[in-house]
A and B are shown apart, each in its own frame.
Chain A
Amino acid sequence: MGTNANRADAAVGFPDLSRVPPVDEVGVNERVARFQSRSIKKASKVEALKCILSMIDLTTLEGQDTPGKVRQLCQKAIHLHDAMPGLPHVAAVCVYPNMVAVAKEALRGTDINIASVATAFPSGMSSLDLKLDDTRMAVEAGASEIDMVISRGAFLAGEYRYVFDEIVAVKEACGDAHLKVILETGELRTLDRVRRASELAMHAGADFIKTSTGKIQPAATMQVTLVMLQAIRDFFASTGRMVGMKPAGGISNAKLAIHYLVMLKETLGNAWMTPEWFRFGASSLANDVLMQLEKQATGVYQSADYFSKD
């Protein structure tokens, strides 16, 4: 990730929540349906597929992860599908804190970022001190991006100041690492809350806002992502600061990912159409995108066994 001067003094103070506009779910659904009715063909499809690959945070977040599995994933991150020349590499590899060192070693010499979840991921049910230690540990091990979770319990109880302060503290513990704030929209339930949590996170200094841990259903949907993109757009309009967006979980095929790109393009414009400002948190998306690229190049679908599963 490139550095950006305006990220240094990220926090802009507690937001005026009375100014946060309501969200109408019916209207959001209609807008999403319009994005999905876009027909993306030929050259524009190939361009989109390559763009999607470059935006992927290749992720493994399981209790059974081993150093071997993480090394495999890193190998995949660098060599997506060498049979096809000219492909980009993914944006980052995303692992638990105790696997960061392994990933760092495996990705040495590349410019692929290492993202680590932290702050008692995925539930966030711990004390602030432990969350900060968790964050520092991941950063010291070499993570350049931290994916934190907000305290949903506090948020749902209306303790917005607590949630805000916690994000500010984690951001400080991140040092130079970029902070992605996971709202866990599947637990927030309403789009109004998604919008409000997005405001809190951005005002508290988030470099990215992210939908989900992937551990709760529903994970990312186009609806919540649209609401978060609109929050980012409004935050940019009022502060001039760009914030990135990461939908995570549930985006497993290329067609859906292309619809996300359409939504991104028509909501935030060209400036966000790079891995610096948009990521897909996904584990199985890459292979479907590769398969579609092969289809575009050769006209036929190939067996899934021609693409490495790591």
Chain B
Amino acid sequence: MATAENTLAFSGGWEYAPAPESTDHIEVASRYGLFIDGDFVRPEKGRYFDTINPATEERLSRVALAGPEDVDKAVKAARKAYSSVWSRMKPAERGKYIFRIARMLQERAREFAAIESLDGGKPIRESRDIDIPLAAAHFFYYAGWADKLEYAFPGRRPRPLGVAGQVIPWNFPLLMAAWKIAPALAAGNTVVLKPAETTPLTALKLAELIADAGLPPGVVNIVTGAGDTGSAIVEHPGVNKVAFTGSTAVGKRIQKALAGGRKSYTLELGGKAANIVFADAAIDQAVEGIVNGIFFNQGHVCCAGSRLFVQESVADEVVEKLSQRMETLIVGDPLDKNTDIGAINSKMQLDKIRDYLKVGEAEGGSLHQASGKLPRKGYWCRPAFFTGVSQSSRVVQEEIFGPVLAIQTFRTFDEALEKANNTPYGLSGGVWTDKGAKIFRMTQGLKAGVVWANTFNKFDPTSPFGGYKESGVGREGGLHGLDAYLRLGE
């Protein structure tokens, strides 16, 4: 529909001068030990690894690599704290500690936001406006439940599970730590948490904050490392409950390891969400929702709207408007307040995304990427979409976990629903239409844990979050998330 003469020009002209968030107010130590039993301690084997800034490829710090012996120490500390202090404490007192963590997070929000962007590559706008405030909101929300568990589950007798072993991913490092720690503590459990190896810093800053908050030693333990450290936590016999967020492949391995045992578990895994745009939708706002759905956090979002289904009568218009909008997305320095899309989290992830771009083209898909300059150093990917792909394409079937959208069209409601559900995943979905009845019909039919209507990627601590099918087991957030950390007796 666009011709040469009625195409809009976005490049050149008036440009925004750099507006970087300052980093002189943050403190990152050159080396971090393991946070066990209330103190930072050296790892037994004395091994450390680098955590780097993906926007510059420079080292930010060195963090301890926890072996099985360190994990064992952490679990024992958590057990001791559980039996002697935390499970016996008056629930209202537990709540006070969690409220204190929430307030201190708010007070130090600026520092946490800057470190989150430095370590993970996400734009400061997101870490400042979404990650850190939401993390604090989760602590506030669950703090309120700590002394009201009997009211949350009337007629039942809620009891904590014991020691929770928690393994979290690199896409929302602090937020995922909050999702895991807040309900566990409110329910009376103690915690051993492992942040992802590429983004350990805000979890370690949270450990400092927890120490400053005066939490009894051992209630929260944070150990750093890679997959082996995670396995050691999951398989440790002293752990009563496993909570994992990450890839479906690792989730399956965890489920195998736990099969036949008595540990309870929740798994938050991958996704390939359908974002469905009907012809009667508010098109401009739908385009904005498509952008938020797939380009939020560089597409490193398990519930990203990575499959777009557009009704055919508006398909050309939507694709044209989407490509125009992509020209106005600013890719670059995560610390710049005007950056929309930051750095890809790691070299490994960038290679994976690039592979998928090749795969999509080899399969016959037509690739479109935003123009615009990229910084020379660091890991970057221009926002991209494929048209001309189908349900049998790998870029439609597999989770890319990057800023890459697969676009298909549909004619009827039933066709959209069938294609949307035709995936091993079922974490989230989106529906765009001006008709309320269509929203309800679609949300009832979609096999996905979260469905957004006329919006996308909205999160709130009161709302349960989790997947169908290979997207996971159990729910986090809301009362459901509390339930997952309790044994409900009669």
Interface residues, chain A, with chain B CB atoms under 8 Å away: 21-24, 26-28, 30-31, 37-45, 47-48, 51, 230, 233, 236-238, 240, 261, 265-266, 268-271, 273
Q: Which chain A residues border B199 with CB–CB below 8 Å? A: none
Say yes or no: A273 contacts B14, CB within 8 Å: yes
Say yes or no: A21 contacts B9, CB within 8 Å: no
B289 at the interface (CB under 8 A from A): yes
In the complex, per-residue mask of B1-29: 1 if CB is within 8 Å of any chain A CB, else 0: 11101101110111111110000000000
> Which of the residues B5, B125, B129, B285 comes within 8 Å of A27, measured between beta carbons?
B285
Q: Which chain A residues border B283 with CB–CB below 8 Å? A: 21
| Bound complex: CA A271 to CA B5 (Å) | 12
| Bound complex: CA A45 to CA B284 (Å) | 28
B282 at the interface (CB under 8 A from A): yes
Say yes or no: A269 contacts B338, CB within 8 Å: no
Say yes or no: A27 contacts B288, CB within 8 Å: yes
> Which of the residues B5, B17, B129, B280 comes within 8 Å of A43, measured between beta carbons?
B17
| Bound complex: CA A286 to CA B295 (Å) | 38
> Which of the residues A23, A28, A261, A271 comes within 8 Å of B9, measured between beta carbons?
A271
Say yes or no: B16 contacts A21, CB within 8 Å: no
Q: Which chain B residues border A21 with CB–CB below 8 Å? A: 281-284
In chain B, what residue has the closest Cβ to A191?
Answer: B282
A-B contact count (CB 8 A): 91
For residue A296, give the distance in angstroms from its CB to the closest CB of chain B: 12
Say yes or no: B282 contacts A24, CB within 8 Å: yes
| Bound complex: CA A42 to CA B280 (Å) | 43
CB within 8 Å for A28 and B285 given contacts A44-B17, A48-B14, A261-B14: yes
> Which of the residues B2, B9, B19, B454 comes within 8 Å of A269, measured between beta carbons?
B9
Say yes or no: B14 contacts A22, CB within 8 Å: no
Q: Which chain A residues border B454 with CB–CB below 8 Å? A: 24, 26-27
Q: Which chain B residues border A44 with CB–CB below 8 Å? A: 14-17
Say yes or no: A266 contacts B8, CB within 8 Å: no
B398 at the interface (CB under 8 A from A): no
A237-B1, A270-B9 given; 9 more Cβ-contact pairs under 8 Å: A23-B282, A24-B454, A38-B338, A41-B19, A237-B2, A237-B6, A238-B1, A265-B10, A271-B9
B328 at the interface (CB under 8 A from A): yes
For residue A294, give the distance in angstroms from its CB to the closest CB of chain B: 19
Q: Could you name 15 residue pairs across A and B whose Cβ atoms are closer than 8 Å?
A: A22-B434, A24-B282, A24-B434, A27-B284, A27-B454, A37-B337, A40-B19, A41-B18, A44-B17, A47-B14, A51-B14, A230-B284, A269-B9, A269-B10, A273-B14
Say yes or no: A39 contacts B6, CB within 8 Å: no
Q: Which chain A residues border B288 with CB–CB below 8 Å? A: 27, 30-31
> Which of the residues A24, A30, A31, A39 comes within 8 Å of B16, measured between beta carbons?
A39
Pairs A-B, 5 closest by C-beta atoms: A27-B285, A270-B13, A24-B282, A39-B19, A269-B8
Q: Which chain B residues border A41 with CB–CB below 8 Å? A: 17-19
Q: Which chain A residues border B2 with CB–CB below 8 Å? A: 237
Q: Which chain B residues border A261 with CB–CB below 8 Å? A: 14
> Which of the residues B17, B129, B281 comes within 8 Å of A42, measured between beta carbons?
B17
Say yes or no: A270 contacts B12, CB within 8 Å: yes
| Bound complex: CA A21 to CA B354 (Å) | 36
Q: Which chain B residues border A270 with CB–CB below 8 Å? A: 9-10, 12-14
B255 at the interface (CB under 8 A from A): no
| Bound complex: CA A268 to CA B288 (Å) | 15
CB within 8 Å for A39 and B338 given contacts A24-B454, A237-B1: yes
CB within 8 Å for A27 and B19 given contacts A237-B6, A270-B12: no
Q: Which of B14, B18, B281, B320 has the most chain A CB atoms inside 10 A of its CB? A: B14
B462 at the interface (CB under 8 A from A): no
| Bound complex: CA A269 to CA B125 (Å) | 23
B455 at the interface (CB under 8 A from A): yes
| Bound complex: CA A254 to CA B178 (Å) | 40
Say yes or no: B285 contacts A39, CB within 8 Å: no
For residue B397, give the distance in angstroms from its CB to the closest CB of chain A: 30
Say yes or no: B455 contacts A39, CB within 8 Å: no
| Bound complex: CA A37 to CA B124 (Å) | 11
Q: Which of B16, B283, B454 has the most chain A CB atoms inside 10 A of its CB? A: B16
Q: Which of A28, A41, A269 has the most chain B CB atoms inside 10 A of its CB? A: A269
For residue A310, give the distance in angstroms from its CB to the closest CB of chain B: 29
| Bound complex: CA A51 to CA B15 (Å) | 13
Q: Which chain A residues border B19 with CB–CB below 8 Å? A: 39-41
Q: Which chain B residues border A238 with CB–CB below 8 Å? A: 1
Q: Which chain A residues border B14 with CB–CB below 8 Å? A: 44, 47-48, 51, 261, 265, 270, 273
Which B residues, 261 to 296, have Cβ-Cβ distances below 8 Å to chain A? Answer: 280-286, 288-289
| Bound complex: CA A268 to CA B9 (Å) | 8
Say yes or no: A27 contacts B282, CB within 8 Å: yes
| Bound complex: CA A146 to CA B280 (Å) | 36
| Bound complex: CA A23 to CA B2 (Å) | 22
Say yes or no: A240 contacts B5, CB within 8 Å: yes
For residue A50, give the distance in angstroms from its CB to the closest CB of chain B: 11
Q: Which chain B residues border A23 with CB–CB below 8 Å? A: 282, 284-285
